[in-house]
């Protein structure tokens, strides 16, 4: 694999300790890239083209390794400054480690004709490599045999994305020496690449092949001396020094002064050198001005250049400038106080600019591209609200003026990226009216009815409330809201990131939302035990749609007017209601009845086809979707202990026996819902209120629903306070759900049943005033769940059955010692089994958690004030195993078996009043046994936090 070290040397071994800084490690390229099965290419086309037949029939090309072991037979010698090494850092060749012979890549080609090339290449297996942080690429080339000294052959090095998009450098090689070393200036490649990009952006056709001596006329080619760049299509996978995917080296024949059947090249020590060192800078300015309680102003400016980054991070090459300003003023300070108004006005301004050093995602310098769009954006917003700040003195003011408030906002902005430009503006105007009234009712005079009730009811809480019952005809709350909003944006997309004369001909995209939203709500408490509430919201679309489509014409025909003013077409309608009846029959018996409904109508005004009101000849109407649901719940909270004491007395045997029993809550809930789509009928009030049985949810006016469901849930929950500090909770729940989904002309039903029993917890806790213990607590929670789901076939098919069964137990222990040490321990055990289509999936999971916490004071030799040190040690042991049992196979096949072990410890303390320090150490071991994969991680974190406060300048 490729290893990137200090200078991104391509290496497999560790360098000696005395290696020079610019020679971190050197090893033969063959050891890195060409061991195994190298990819070998040979082509008749010129070297820049790299496109042609593979494996010419009259010649062959192969690679091998040549090393210091071939001194006698091949006359091999290492390049200057490259020497043998050992496999272990810090060792010497005589005493430690295994000696590594210095090696080079050997490329041999037979019958290489004029204009042909032979190369070996590699696609980096670890992903694209970034070369932007270096300025030069170095390599050693040496030829062997005839043709090199005569100038018939040249060596080349190539980096790029693929065969058709690459950077190339070629140079002659000597057969008697490695000198001179090949030194490639990466900036020269980038300059040629920028020339190609500018030609492509100007709309020019591919060119440069003939000038650079290549035959690939369908590509963009640029060259300068030994440097050459080829890009098949600059818009598709061009070469990029920030993401090099492939590297190649090889032989190119440029002459035929010497006749030879075989040519040979040695390649060694390809490496990056001369790291780019540029200074990253960042600055920030913040200011705030407060003018008493009348106004305030804030200012913030942040500037970062493209080289600013954190340690061990690559530069972003994109400078950022962010300016933010904001302020608010209380206009009521300039108005007469007798008006009693509160009028805050706020304004904000934000501007962001980006100065790219490189074109986003490429190695192209932004300065080399004329007319480049630079990302920038700005926005400005204003907000104003008016409301009453004091209560009026007369009923007209309190009833009509005080509850009224108005809010308005205006926002404008613009945003530009490399390929887009957008302008937007939005405004909103919202009026609210919220009136809250005290409840006043007329006495009903039900005393005669009360006297006819049994004594225990008449003298109980229910009887007393019934005798004092009154009727209120006025609502307790009235809510009205009306808001007008308009959002408009115009966006233009461009093909290339530079400005062209053809950009003026591009058609921008308009996005417009113009809505009028109204809502009304009412809360009414006619009786003390009865509460009714309802909210209705309607949203109307005021936009005029183009009539070039059928749906646009239908939408415009559905527009309505109010007093001669167009009010658009209703897009959405929501209606919710709630009824709560909570009679208090007695202090120990509190029944309840809850009922609520929800209705949603949604019309699609532009993306779906209209529907006909009749079968084939009806008028077109807007497509709409309807959803409704209703939930009814009957329940009661029963305090048996209190009831027995009220009936038999506090000193009775039953009263004392049941004194520790907590109130029991019983409830049954029924929920029905339905969905209709592309309907032609208008929903009735009964449908909007979700009234009726399941048949009313399945069909409306002869139209079948897309889907409907009915769910019934019964629960009972209670608990006990036992002696010795023991508490217990216990509950039982049973749920049955029926779902019907329309398919063709019928429904497919799914029946789901689930029971949760037992579900609860048991806990014991005890506090101590003396001894070594301060607190002891022991408890456990448990849960058992069983469920099944049955889906019926459409005609006579077999139903699909699924089942689930799970049980979990979670005991825990807490111990608090008098000296401040606290210990906690918890265990969670989960067993789950899923059955589906004859297959069983079983899960067994166990989690063990523990923690020890202790706080102590530093010795006086370290801290005069003896600062407190908080220490903690925690551990986690988790295992989870899943297996699959198919059909009648007796064995269960493991499909997942993972475990996790974790240990953490930490210390933190307040060194000074404003300085806090901490140290955290952790070790984690993950083991996926079913994949034979294990990983471990050690973390050490030292932290210092300095908090400074300089006051608030006024």
Per-residue model confidence (pLDDT) at position 28: 30
Measured distance CA(409)–CA(601) in Å, rounded: 29
Q: Identify whether the C-beta of residue 450 lies closer than 8 Å to the C-beta of residue 465.
A: no
Q: Give the integer Cα–Cα distance in Å for 522 and 517.
A: 17
Range of lowest pLDDT (21-35, 38-52, 452-466, 820-834): 21-35
pLDDT of residue 375: 93
Structure tokens at 920: 């955290």
Flag whether pLDDT at 311 surpasses 50.
yes
Cα–Cα distance, 41 to 505 (Å, whole number): 46
CA distances to 56, 76, 219, 223 from 48, in Å: 18, 30, 10, 10
Tell whether omega for the bond before 758 is within 30 degrees of 0, i.e. cis.
yes
pLDDT confidence tier of residue 587, bands split at 50, 70 and 90: confident
Q: pLDDT tens digits, residue range 354-367?
A: 999 998 889 999 99
Lookup: tokens for 322: 């962010």
Report which of residues 461 and 481 the model is more confident about: 481
- Here the contacts of 731-736 (C-beta below 8 Å, separation 24 or greater) are 731/756, 731/758, 731/759, 731/760, 732/756, 732/757, 732/758, 732/759, 733/757, 733/759, 735/711, 736/711, 736/712
**CB-CB contact of 154 with 251 (8 Å):** yes
Report the alpha-carbon angle 115-108-186, nearest 5. Answer: 65
Give the Cα separation of 796 and 239 in Å (integer): 62
Q: Is the peptide bond before 288 cis (omega within 30 degrees of 0)?
A: no
Are 405 and 429 within 8 A, CB to CB?
no
Distances in Å between the alpha carbon of 856 and those of 544, 551, 615?
73, 75, 83
User: DSSP letter string over 500-527?
Assistant: -GGGGGPPPEEEEEEEEEEEEEEEEEEE
Q: Tens of pLDDT along 148-175?
A: 999 999 999 999 998 889 999 999 999 9
Taking 80 as the threshold, does the pLDDT of residue 84 lie above it? no
pLDDT at 35 over 50: no
CA dihedral angle for residue 87, residue 92, residue 94, residue 95, rounded to 10 degrees: -90
User: Which of these ranges, 207-216, 725-734, 746-755, has the smallest mean pLDDT?
Assistant: 207-216
- The model's confidence at residue 22, banded by pLDDT at 50, 70 and 90, is very low
Residue 405 confidence (pLDDT) above 90: yes
Average pLDDT over residues 813-827: 94
Per-residue pLDDT band for 629 (boundaries 50, 70, 90) equals: very high
Residue 913's pLDDT is 76
Q: What percent of the chain has pLDDT over 70?
A: 90
* Cα–Cα distance for residue pair 71/78, rounded to 1 Å: 10
Residue 100, pLDDT score? 65
Give alpha helix (H) positions in 429-576.
Answer: 447-451, 455-458, 461-467, 550-557
pLDDT at 30: 29
Give the integer Cα–Cα distance in Å for 1 and 359: 30
Note whether 428 and 408 are within 8 A (CB). Answer: yes
Question: Has residue 91 got a pLDDT over 70?
Answer: no
Please give the pLDDT value at position 86. 53
Q: Which of 501-505, 757-761, 846-850 has the lowest mean pLDDT?
A: 501-505
Highest mean pLDDT among 8-17, 390-399, 661-670: 661-670
CB neighbour burial string for 69-89, b if at least 16 within 10 angstroms, e if fewer: ebeeeeebebbeebeebbeee
Mean pLDDT in residue range 341-351? 96
What is the per-residue pLDDT across 762-790, written as a single tens digit (0 to 9) for each?
999 999 888 899 999 999 999 999 999 98
- In this structure, are residues 594 and 579 in contact, taking their beta carbons and an 8 Å threshold? yes
Residue 19 has pLDDT above 70, yes or no: no
Mean pLDDT of the chain, nearest integer: 86
In angstroms, how far is CA 755 from the centroid of its own chain? 35
Phi, then psi, of 464 in degrees rounded to 5: -65, -40
d(CA 895, CA 884): 7
Residue 85 to residue 934: CA distance in whole angstroms: 32
Mean pLDDT of 212-238: 90
pLDDT of 246 above 70: yes
Residue 23: pLDDT band (50, 70, 90) is very low
Q: How confident is the model at residue 411 (pLDDT cuts 50, 70, 90)?
A: very high
Give the pLDDT confidence of 492-548 residue by residue, as tens digits: 999 888 998 888 889 999 999 999 999 999 999 998 889 999 999 999 999 998 888
Mean pLDDT, residues 918-942 taken together: 93
> How many angstroms separate the CA atoms of 113 and 254, rounded?
9
The Cα-based distances of 812 to 230, 714, 823, 899 in angstroms read 68, 30, 11, 21
pLDDT at position 159, please?
Answer: 94
Q: 56 falls in which pLDDT band (50, 70, 90)? A: very low
Q: Which residue has the higher pLDDT, 555 or 615?
A: 555
């Amino acid at each position: 694999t490729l290893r990137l070290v200090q200078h991104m040397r391509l290496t497999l071994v560790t360098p000696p300790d005395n290696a020079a800084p610019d020679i971190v490690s050197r090893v033969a390229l063959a050891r890195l890239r060409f061991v195994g099965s190298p990819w070998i290419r040979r082509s008749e086309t010129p070297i820049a083209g790299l496109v042609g037949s593979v494996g010419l029939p009259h010649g062959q090309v192969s690679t091998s390794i040549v090393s210091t072991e071939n001194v006698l037979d091949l006359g091999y010698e290492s390049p200057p400054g490259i020497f043998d090494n050992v496999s272990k850092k810090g060792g010497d060749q005589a005493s430690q480690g295994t000696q590594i012979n210095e090696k080079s890549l050997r490329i041999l080609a037979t019958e290489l004709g004029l204009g042909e090339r032979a190369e070996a290449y590699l696609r980096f297996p670890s992903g694209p490599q970034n070369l932007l942080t270096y300025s030069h690429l170095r390599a050693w080339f040496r030829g062997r045999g005839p043709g090199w000294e005569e100038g018939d052959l040249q060596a080349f090095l190539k980096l790029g994305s693929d065969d058709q998009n690459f950077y190339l450098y070629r140079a002659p090689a000597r057969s008697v020496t490695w000198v001179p070393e090949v030194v490639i200036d990466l900036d020269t490649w980038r300059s040629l690449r920028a020339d190609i990009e500018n030609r492509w952006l100007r709309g020019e056709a591919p060119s440069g092949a003939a000038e650079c001596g290549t035959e690939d006329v369908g590509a963009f080619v640029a060259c300068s001396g030994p440097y050459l760049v080829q890009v098949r299509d600059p818009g598709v996978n061009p070469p990029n020094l920030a993401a090099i995917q492939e590297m190649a080296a090889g032989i190119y024949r440029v002459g035929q002064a010497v006749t030879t059947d075989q040519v040979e090249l040695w390649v060694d020590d390809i490496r990056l050198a001369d790291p780019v060192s540029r200074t990253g800078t960042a600055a920030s300015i913040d200011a705030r001005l407060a003018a008493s309680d009348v106004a305030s102003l804030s200012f913030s400016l942040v500037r970062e250049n493209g080289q600013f980054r954190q340690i061990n991070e690559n530069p972003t090459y994109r400078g950022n400038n962010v300016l933010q300003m904001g302020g608010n003023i209380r206009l009521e300070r300039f108005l007469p106080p007798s008006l009693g108004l509160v009028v805050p006005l706020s304004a904000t301004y934000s501007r962001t600019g980006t100065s790219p050093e490189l074109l986003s995602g490429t190695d192209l310098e932004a300065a080399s591209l004329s007319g480049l769009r630079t990302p920038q954006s700005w926005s400005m917003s204003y907000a104003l609200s008016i409301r009453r700040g004091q209560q009026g003195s007369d009923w007209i003011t309190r009833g009509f003026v005080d509850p009224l408030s108005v809010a308005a906002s205006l926002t404008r902005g613009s945003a530009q990226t490399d390929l887009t430009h957008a302008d937007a503006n939005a405004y909103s105007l919202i009026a609210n009216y919220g009136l809250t009234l005290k409840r006043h009712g007329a006495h009903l005079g039900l005393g005669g009815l009360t006297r006819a009730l049994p004594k225990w009811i008449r003298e109980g809480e229910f009887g007393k409330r019934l005798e004092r019952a009154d009727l209120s005809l006025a609502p307790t709350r009235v809510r009205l809201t009306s808001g007008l909003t308009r959002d408009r944006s115009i966006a233009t997309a461009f093909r290339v990131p530079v400005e062209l004369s053809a950009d003026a001909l591009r058609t921008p995209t308009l996005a417009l939302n113009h809505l009028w939203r109204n809502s009304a709500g009412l809360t009414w408490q006619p009786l003390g035990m009865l509460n009714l509430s309802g909210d209705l919201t309607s949203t109307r679309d005021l936009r005029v749609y183009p009539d070039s489509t059928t749906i646009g014409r239908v939408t415009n025909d559905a527009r309505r007017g109010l007093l001669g003013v167009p009010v658009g077409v209703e897009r959405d309608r929501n209606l919710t209601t709630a009824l709560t009846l909570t009679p208090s029959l007695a202090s120990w018996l509190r029944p309840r009845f809850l009922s609520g409904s929800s209705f949603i109508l949604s019309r699609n005004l532009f993306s779906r086809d209209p529907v006909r009101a009749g079968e084939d000849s009806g008028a077109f109407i807007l497509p709409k979707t309807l959803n409704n649901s209703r939930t009814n719940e009957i329940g009661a909270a029963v305090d048996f202990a209190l009831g027995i004491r009220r009936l038999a007395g506090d000193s009775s045997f039953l009263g004392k026996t049941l004194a520790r029993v907590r109130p029991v809550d019983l409830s049954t809930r029924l929920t029905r819902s339905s969905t209709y789509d592309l309907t032609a009928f208008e929903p009735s009030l009964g449908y909007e209120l979700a009234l009726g049985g399941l048949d009313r949810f399945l069909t409306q006016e002869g139209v079948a629903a897309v889907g409907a469901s009915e769910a019934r849930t019964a629960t009972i929950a209670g608990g006990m306070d036992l002696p010795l500090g023991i508490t217990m909770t216990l509950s039982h729940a049973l749920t049955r759900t029926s779902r019907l989904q329309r398919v063709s002309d019928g429904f497919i039903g799914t029946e789901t049943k689930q029971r949760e029993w037992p579900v609860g917890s048991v806990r014991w806790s005890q506090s101590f005033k003396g001894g070594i213990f301060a607190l002891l607590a022991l408890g456990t929670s448990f849960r058992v769940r069983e469920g099944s789901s049955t889906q019926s076939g459409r005609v006579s098919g077999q139903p699909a059955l699924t089942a689930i069964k799970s049980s979990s137990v979670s005991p825990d222990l807490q111990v608090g010692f008098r000296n401040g040490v606290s210990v906690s321990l918890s265990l969670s055990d989960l067993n789950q089994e899923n059955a589906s289509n004859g297959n069983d999936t079983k899960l067994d999971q166990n989690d063990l958690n523990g923690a020890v916490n202790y706080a102590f004071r530093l010795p006086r030799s370290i801290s005069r004030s003896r600062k407190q040190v908080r220490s903690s040690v925690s551990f986690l042991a988790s295992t989870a195993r899943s297996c699959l049992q198919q059909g009648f196979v007796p064995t269960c096949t493991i499909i997942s078996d993972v475990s996790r072990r974790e240990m953490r410890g930490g210390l933190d303390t307040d060194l000074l009043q404003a300085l806090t320090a901490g140290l955290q150490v952790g070790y984690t071991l993950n083991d996926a046994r079913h994949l034979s994969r294990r990983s471990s991680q050690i973390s050490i974190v030292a932290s210092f936090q300095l908090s400074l406060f300089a006051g608030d300048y006024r």
